[in-house]
Amino acid sequence: MYFFRALLSPVVLWPALVSGKSNSNTANYTVEELWDLEVTFWDNFLYPANVKQVEAINSTLFTTEVQGRVDITRVFNGSELNTEYIFGLFSDPNHLSLVGVPIAYSITQFIAERNIASATTVVTFNATSFGNLLLPVTIDTWIMWDANGRIMQYDATFRWFGFLLDTLVEALATSINGTASQATAALTQLLATTVCDTHDKYCTGENQQYDNSTACYDFLTTAIPLGKDYELGRDTLLCREVHEHMVQYDPKMHCPHIGPTGGDYCVNDQTYEQKVLQKYFNVSWIVGVPWTGNIWLGD
């Protein structure tokens, strides 16, 4: 659910080179062409267009080896995984979900050069699980495209996500005529029940993670925390809520993510410093200056 922070670099965006590691598919688009590519992505992010992207399994909007990072969750590699998370996570209005489905957007900030665009987009979500509450969600993005107009890298931040979670809890508290604490407890129960139902349906045989539904529910409600706004990629219930949506697409891959171990995604394997300094991207986001000291570039 989790989605895009774009803090613009203070360097001048000159049409020179993309510093750091080179890429044979590096393109040189006009600003208008990059705007069109940006709009194409967001058009397909909305429901129900995102359903068609999910059904494609490997969205043609991504390169095969696309790299993606979302601040509140983790990094995502490859077109299939990114198709499941970027489009599949928000594609079912009838399934319990924190923010529901995206129904409209407005790009409020945009700057672009060569094959990179940095933008801020306010996406309106219909939180169908919270009485069709309409929520404006601010998503900051850096996106890089290859010569074929496919996304090869993206870096995303959900701005004010903690405020968003508090707003959802307040809405739930109002609906149950209770306190914020009671609403948080109710949300925990709802999410745990949904995760366990999904586990029982899809995580069978070698993919089974819990002995039974009771063991699943007890673990999710007592052994791990619900999670804070930055913990949708840590050992929390909120992280498992994110991955629960993906289980139906690939049980073998995603069942461990909702299980007790958390798989490779819902685990506390990073300190704050390690999160910030993680070397990940293959191509530098710095454009037009001979700077080779980008600490985010992978080895």
DSSP labels, 85-123: IIIGGG--TTS--SS-EEEEEEEEEEEEETTEEEEEEEE
Q: Are residues 138 and 176 in the same domain?
A: no
Check: CB of residue 115 under 8 Å from CB of residue 18. Answer: yes
Instruction: For residue 181, give its domain range.
Output: 164-273
Q: Are residues 93 and 137 in the same domain?
A: yes
* Length in residues, the chain: 299
Tens of pLDDT, residue by residue over 144-173, are 999 999 999 999 999 999 999 999 999 999
Q: Are residues 129 and 74 in the same domain?
A: yes
Percent of the chain topping pLDDT 70: 92
Q: Are residues 176 and 146 in the same domain?
A: no
**Low-confidence winner among 1-10, 226-235, 264-273, 276-285 (lowest mean pLDDT):** 1-10
Q: Kindly state whether residue 5 falls inside one of the protein's structural domains.
A: no
Region 271-286: what's the mean pLDDT?
A: 97
Q: Are residues 182 and 241 in the same domain?
A: yes
Region 255-263: what's the mean pLDDT?
A: 99
Q: Please tell me the total count of domains within the chain.
A: 2
Q: Are residues 53 and 126 in the same domain?
A: yes
Q: Which of 159, 177, 192 is the last residue of a domain?
A: 159
291 — pLDDT class (breaks 50, 70, 90) = confident
Check: CB of residue 159 under 8 Å from CB of residue 225. Answer: no
Q: Are residues 37 and 155 in the same domain?
A: yes
Q: Are residues 208 and 119 in the same domain?
A: no
Distance CA 284, CA 298 (A): 10
**Low-confidence winner among 7-16, 78-87, 282-291 (lowest mean pLDDT):** 7-16
Q: With DSSP H G I counted as helix, E B as strand and the rest as coil, what are the percentages for the chain, rounded to 5?
A: 35, 20, 40
Tens of pLDDT, residue by residue over 52-72, are 999 999 999 999 999 999 999
Check: CB of residue 255 under 8 Å from CB of residue 262. Answer: no
Distance CA 127, CA 275 (A): 29
Following CA atoms 59, 118, 163, 240 in sequence, which dihedral angle do they give, to the nearest 10 degrees? 30
Region 185-191: what's the mean pLDDT?
A: 98
Q: Which residues contact 149 (CB under 8 A, 6 or more apart)?
A: 37, 40
Q: By C-alpha distance, which of 289, 296, 231 is closest to 16?
A: 289
Q: Kindly state whether residue 23 falls inside one of the protein's structural domains.
A: no
DSSP-H helix ranges across 125-226: 161-176, 180-202, 213-218
DSSP-H helix ranges across 117-179: 161-176
Q: Are residues 231 and 173 in the same domain?
A: yes
The DSSP bridge partners found for residue 119 are 110, 141
296 vs 17, which has greater pLDDT?
Answer: 296
Position 246: which residue type?
Answer: M
Q: Are residues 80 and 180 in the same domain?
A: no
Q: Kindly state whether residue 172 falls inside one of the protein's structural domains.
A: yes
Q: Are residues 68 and 137 in the same domain?
A: yes
Q: Which residues contact 180 (CB under 8 A, 6 or more apart)?
A: 169, 170, 173
What value does the mean pLDDT of the chain take?
92
- 86, two tokens: 């970027």
Check: CB of residue 219 under 8 Å from CB of residue 235. Answer: no
Distance CA 119, CA 76 (A): 20
Q: What is the domain-level CATH number for residue 113?
A: 3.10.450.50
3-class DSSP assignment, residue 200:
helix
